[in-house]
Chain A
Amino acid sequence: MKNFRESYRKAVDAIPVPEFVMREAAGRKQKIGGFDGRGKRNVAAAAVAGGMFVICALGGVAATGYAKSIIRTDENGFQTIDMRNALTQGGTEEAAFDGAQAEAAEQSEEKQSENKRSEEVLCPLTEPDASLVGGWTLKEYQSLGEQEILTRLEAGEKRILFHQYDYSGTEGHAFAISYAGGVENERLYTTDQGFTYKLVDSVEGGEIHAAVAVGDYELILDFSGFGEEETEALLESMDLTVYL
């Protein structure tokens, strides 16, 4: 007869525990190898004045009861899905993300093209601090349907495209955004507020893309003409608590 205590300990020890890392250093170079699958998510901890946040490397914050978004990167860009869909679509995140990618392949061109519609909307919205770039030479908001707001900010030759997606009131979602030429150099950046962005670079150069999930919202920012430090400073200046 087997000993239950010994066997149970062995079974529990076999449960994969996420790797724990402190704040990811900016500029760490690594090619994206694809999602590692369950059991290898990173938990990033950032020390904040007066407190500490331990943030999942998926860009989320402590559970609030919302079907939290999962953001992953691949060689093309970002894919997002809510956790409930990740469980119900074949029970694996891979299947769920594959489905989202196929669906979004049709949508990506439309989302990246210039949308001429413009509506006035009231919703939480944050943006980078203009004083960091000496003021915006162009500031434009576009409502792309009920769930998406696109903000275009220009400071001379430099540009930020800020996509804000609102999934409140939805049962679930799956979304993907692809960048021409692909992306590389996946890394994390955690702000002093404790929110963690996933960052990637365009392979063709010149752009940094950042993604974060906050409450019911997903934010994807495309920085053109900005360096790593400038991008981090701009991300740092954005108050994401408005989305909670």
Chain B
Amino acid sequence: MSDLAKEEGGRNRESLQHTIETYFPTLYRIAFLQMKNTADAEDIVQEVFFRYMKSGMEFESREHEKAWFIKVTLNCCRKLWRSPWVKRRVTLPEGEERAGDVCGETAESSYLKDEQSRELLQAVLELPDKYREVIHLFYYEELAVKEIAEILEKQESTVTSLLTRGRRILKRKLQEEYCFEEF
């Protein structure tokens, strides 16, 4: 249980709401980037908070709490990947399923402004799952290699290798337009 919940005398409605509001955007974005659609992302986040409620977990720190949520979210994504529903899902023809469409952009003006963002996001979405995970955790969540390794239950050297290969693929897709900081 987070410190906030303890201070409030237990896992009451207000502390739960605070926890959900704190992590919902982060977990939704992780789930969305893994599953590439809003419905699955919503379901996964729902499942994660349900597990949180049932688990009665107590956390040593905010970092520990966040890492737990991210780990459970990624595990739920993997579980859904293996489900018959996802396996039978029909994909749109190549070129029609775009990051912008999946993101639900509706305003033409915002589409034009964020074309660069859409192309970048599309490139990341096209990465294999194992690269996409580490790229997001490193570049967006700003987790260290060690922290990513703990969440994904992999060796640090494996995480470094995945980051390197993911970055190489992105450089090729994005035509060397971006500089990537070292790790």
Q: Residues of A with Cβ closer than 8 Å to B? A: 1-5, 7-12, 14-18, 20, 22, 37-39, 41, 43, 45, 47, 51-56, 60-63, 65-68, 70, 83-84, 87-88, 91-92
Contact = CB atoms under 8 A, between A and B. Distances in A.
A8 B120 contact: yes
B109 interface: no
A87 B90 CA distance: 8
Interface string B50-69: 10011000000000000000
A4 B20 CA distance: 29
A137 B170 CA distance: 68
11 contacts: A4-B170, A5-B180, A7-B116, A8-B139, A10-B117, A14-B110, A15-B121, A54-B45, A63-B44, A63-B80, A91-B101
Contacts of B178: 1-4, 7
The 8 closest A-B pairs by CB, nearest first: A38-B104, A63-B43, A11-B117, A39-B104, A4-B178, A65-B83, A11-B121, A1-B179
Instruction: Select the residue from A45, A53, A63 with max chain B CB neighbours within 10 A.
Output: A63
Contact of B24 (A20, A52, A55, A61): A20
Nearest to A70: B39
Interface residues of B, number: 57
Question: Which secondary structure characterizes the binding site on chain A?
Answer: mixed
Interface stretch (B1-9, B26-34, B145-153): B26-34
B118 interface: yes
Nearest to A47: B13
A65 B53 CA distance: 22
Contact of A5 (B13, B29, B139): B139
B179 A14 contact: no
Contacts of A7: 116-117, 120, 178
Nearest to A60: B43
A83 B38 CA distance: 11
Contact of A56 (B46, B97, B180): B46
A65 B114 contact: no
A41 B49 CA distance: 17
Contacts of A37: 104, 106
A66 B39 CA distance: 12
Contact of A88 (B46, B90, B110, B121): B90
A87 B179 contact: no
